[in-house]
Amino acid sequence: MACIVCIFCYIFFYQFGIGPIPYFIGSELFEVSSRPVGMALGSLSSWVCNCIIGMAFPSLQRAWGAYVFLPFSITCALLFLLTKFYVPETRGKDPSEVASEVSKGFKSIIK
């Protein structure tokens, strides 16, 4: 029973946390004409990564024991840094402003 509760908690927090990010990024960074393709690619990458994690986790758990979450934690930290320094801020900008910023390429905010 505790396992089922933990799975439901994971799904709940995932869906309110990192789960919808591929859809938000696709809707914010792509112009209207290319938005469906961008969102489809974001959804595809999310599901492929989830499948890979689901398939790899049991083997990693047997091999690494208590350190099984270490590669996932490192990946999350690296993706956080990538997002922080390379994904442009879209708050308060028109879609045309975002499109012009994205068309210049993703530049790091680190000087």
pLDDT digits (tens, 9 = 90+) for 31-86: 788 888 888 888 898 889 889 988 988 898 899 888 888 887 888 888 888 878 87
Q: What pLDDT, on a 0 to 100 scale, did the predictor assign at position 63?
A: 92
H, E, C per residue of 61-75: HHHHHHHCCHHHHHH
- The average pLDDT across 19-23 equals 79
Which residues make Cβ contacts (< 8 Å) with residue 88, sequence separation at least 6?
29, 98, 101, 102, 106
Q: Give the three-class secondary structure for 88.
A: coil
Q: What pLDDT, on a 0 to 100 scale, did the predictor assign at position 108?
A: 60
What confidence category does residue 96 fall into, taking pLDDT thresholds of 50, 70 and 90? confident
Which residues make Cβ contacts (< 8 Å) with residue 85, sequence separation at least 6?
108, 109, 110
Q: Give CA–CA dist 79/101, Å, rounded.
A: 21
User: 90: exposed, middle or buried (C-beta count within 10 Å: 0-12, 13-18, 19+)?
Assistant: middle
Q: Is the pLDDT of residue 111 over 60?
A: no
- The average pLDDT across 94-106 equals 76
Place of tokens 């914010």: 28
Strand ranges inside the chain, DSSP E? none
Q: Is the pLDDT of residue 26 over 80?
A: no
Q: Give CA–CA dist 28/33, Å, rounded.
A: 13
Higher pLDDT residue, 52 or 18? Answer: 52
